[in-house]
């Protein structure tokens, strides 16, 4: 009788160990967000301490320390939300693992912010509010504080809901709401706000059209050719040259303001020269890389892998150089007002403020970024290296076109619009080919409604959620900012 009893004991022990193992896994899963929260809180405390070190005995020391904490919170949210737009397509196309994408983005975003970030920023977010409407410096400080906190809270909420939104638009909404609460509707520059509202439509539509146009070119000239490899040897160097030239112009125009100021014609000439040079260098490299590859689409993905990774890294660098300054602008304005006792249209950004912005983006990306990276990269529509490459290229080209037209645009809207454009183009293209096939076989019937729904390549639920988040970003941030300003003003008045 002892042997069966022993067997039952071992069986019971296995079950108990299994329960303990499941409990440990569940505990690890539940505690993972708490670890992220703990690291985030530690970073906020460090940001406050850093501000206290650089302020000495300033009379507004407590105010600036609080603002530094809010600025660090904003930077964390930029990393969690905005950076996903640059790395999402590369991860969704399996050109990069999640870990590699986070590492590259963290390095490039920080480098862009610290090396090429604007050393002078418009404290009122590109002329949204007339500072002369503020009655005193303290009112201005509370307005900037409210703008910073409301923008961070809104981006945090959007990240929780899985919606990529524009951090720049969030800051604009925050500044507008606080300005209205402080100085009335007359303080708002409504023509500028009208341009920003127009960019909600222009940015994603233009990004989507350009991305779809490049995908149409790739399909026509490479994918649907009898000899795909021979076609790729001709066209991939051309596309890589276009990418290099576009990013050279983009970085010259938008990403190197701190180093040198370059006008649009000069930036385009720089882009043209580097693009031609890259085309010449890439031709033999692509020919060598394509030797021995099979005549199939999988081989094409190999040829587009490295250019896609480089384009994602360059997008991150340019994003760090531009958007970080916009996000820490209100913090820089508060520091200036506290130290000088007045406020100005433009102020210099102290290095320690840029460090908070760059470090916050890296921490936010590492701790909370994977959710939005997966959303942009794989949950809107299916991406491969060719499609993702079109999205990255479209983002750079759209920014240059918008700069030429003088339109304020959002990098978030452009990148996500490019993903939508690729997806909707694939739907249209597939249906067109199907109709042509039916016509060639003598059939004229339309596809059943259920079959048409099954063939949709863009998730409509994500499309509606993201568009709704874009539309309400400025009003939501403005309403929150106005409320926070009123509370701050009443508490200190």
| Model confidence pLDDT, tens digit, residues 169-180 | 898 899 899 989
Least confident of 58-62, 115-119, 269-273, 485-489: 115-119
**% of the chain beyond a pLDDT of 90:** 25
SS3 of 292-321: CCCCCHHHHHHHHHHHHHHHHHHHHHHHHH
User: Using CA atoms, how far apart are residues 180 and 489, in angstroms rounded to an integer?
Assistant: 13
Residue 266, pLDDT above cutoff 60? yes
Residue 315, pLDDT above cutoff 90? no
When pLDDT is averaged across residues 136-141 and rounded to a whole number, the result is 83
The mean pLDDT of the chain is: 82
The phi, psi pair for 123, rounded to 5°, reads -70, -20
Q: 343: Cβ–Cβ under 8 A, 6 or more apart, which residues?
A: 123, 131, 134, 137, 140, 333, 336, 337
The pLDDT assigned to 339 comes to 77
Residue 305 pLDDT grade (very low, low, confident, very high; cuts 50, 70, 90)? confident
What is the C-alpha end-to-end distance of the chain, expressed in Å?
A: 84
When pLDDT is averaged across residues 33-46 and rounded to a whole number, the result is 84
Q: How many other C-beta atoms are found inside a 10 Å radius of the C-beta of residue 33?
A: 11
User: Using CA atoms, how far apart are residues 179 and 333, in angstroms rounded to an integer?
Assistant: 14
Residue 30 pLDDT grade (very low, low, confident, very high; cuts 50, 70, 90)? very low
User: Using CA atoms, how far apart are residues 164 and 140, in angstroms rounded to an integer?
Assistant: 30
When pLDDT is averaged across residues 384-406 and rounded to a whole number, the result is 83
When pLDDT is averaged across residues 196-220 and rounded to a whole number, the result is 90
The pLDDT assigned to 82 comes to 81
Q: Is 374 exposed, middle or buried (0-12, 13-18, 19+ CB in 10 A)?
A: middle
Enter the tokens of residue 140.
Answer: 């201005």
The pLDDT assigned to 259 comes to 64
Tell me which residue has tokens 């703990």.
38
**CA dist 319 to 72, 124, 206, 223, 375, Å?**
17, 20, 19, 31, 19
Residue 482 pLDDT grade (very low, low, confident, very high; cuts 50, 70, 90)? very high
User: Residues 206, 255: contact at Cβ < 8 Å?
Assistant: no
Residue 254 pLDDT grade (very low, low, confident, very high; cuts 50, 70, 90)? low
Residue 357, pLDDT above cutoff 80? yes
Closest C-alpha among 448, 436, 493 to residue 224: 436
Beta bridge partners of 348: 120
Q: Is 21 exposed, middle or buried (0-12, 13-18, 19+ CB in 10 A)?
A: exposed
Residue 406 pLDDT grade (very low, low, confident, very high; cuts 50, 70, 90)? low
């Amino acid at each position: 009788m002892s042997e069966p009893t022993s067997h039952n004991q071992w069986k019971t022990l296995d079950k108990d160990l299994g329960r303990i193992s499941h409990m440990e896994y569940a505990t690890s899963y539940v505690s993972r967000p708490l670890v992220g929260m703990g690291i985030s809180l530690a970073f906020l405390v460090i940001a406050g301490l850093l501000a206290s070190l650089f302020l000495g005995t300033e009379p507004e020391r407590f105010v600036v320390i609080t603002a530094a904490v809010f600025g660090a919170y904003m930077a964390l949210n930029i990393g969690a939300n905005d950076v996903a737009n640059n790395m999402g397509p590369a991860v969704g196309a399996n050109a990069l693992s999640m870990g590699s994408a986070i590492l590259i983005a963290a390095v490039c975003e920080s480098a862009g912010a610290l090396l090429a970030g604007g050393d002078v920023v418009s404290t009122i977010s590109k002329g949204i509010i007339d500072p002369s409407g503020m009655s005193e410096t303290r009112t201005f400080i509370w307005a900037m504080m409210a703008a910073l906190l409301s923008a961070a809270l809104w981006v945090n909420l959007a990240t929780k809901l899985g919606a990529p939104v524009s951090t720049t638009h969030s800051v604009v909404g925050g500044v507008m709401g606080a300005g209205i609460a402080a100085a009335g509707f007359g303080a708002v520059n409504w023509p500028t706000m009208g341009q920003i509202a127009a960019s909600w439509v222009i940015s994603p539509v233009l990004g989507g059209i350009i991305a779809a146009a490049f995908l149409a070119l790739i399909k026509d000239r490479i994918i649907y050719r009898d000899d795909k490899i021979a076609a790729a040897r001709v066209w991939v160097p051309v596309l890589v040259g276009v990418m290099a030239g576009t990013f050279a112009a983009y970085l010259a125009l938008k990403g190197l303001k701190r180093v040198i100021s370059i006008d649009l014609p000069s930036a385009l000439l720089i882009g043209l020269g580097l693009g031609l040079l890259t085309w010449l260098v890439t031709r033999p490299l692509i020919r060598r890389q394509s030797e021995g590859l099979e005549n199939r689409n999988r081989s094409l993905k190999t040829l587009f892998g490295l250019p896609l990774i480089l384009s994602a890294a360059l997008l991150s660098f340019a994003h760090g150089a531009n958007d970080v300054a916009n996000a820490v602008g209100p913090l820089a304005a508060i520091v200036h007002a506290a130290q000088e006792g007045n406020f100005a249209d433009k102020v210099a950004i102290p290095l320690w403020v840029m460090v908070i912005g760059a470090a916050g983006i890296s921490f936010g990306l590492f701790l909370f970024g994977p959710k939005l990276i997966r959303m942009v990269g794989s949950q809107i529509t299916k991406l491969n290296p060719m499609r993702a490459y079109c999205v990255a290229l479209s983002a750079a080209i759209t920014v240059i076109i918008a700069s030429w037209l003088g339109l304020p645009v959002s990098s978030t809207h452009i990148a996500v619009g490019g993903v939508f454009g690729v997806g909707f183009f694939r739907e249209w293209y597939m249906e067109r080919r199907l109709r042509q096939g039916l016509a060639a076989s003598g059939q004229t019937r339309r596809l059943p409604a259920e079959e048409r729904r099954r063939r949709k390549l863009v998730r409509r639920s994500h499309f509606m959620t993201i568009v709704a988040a874009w539309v309400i970003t400025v009003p939501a941030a403005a309403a929150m900012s106005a409320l926070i300003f009123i509370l701050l003003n009443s508490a200190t008045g």
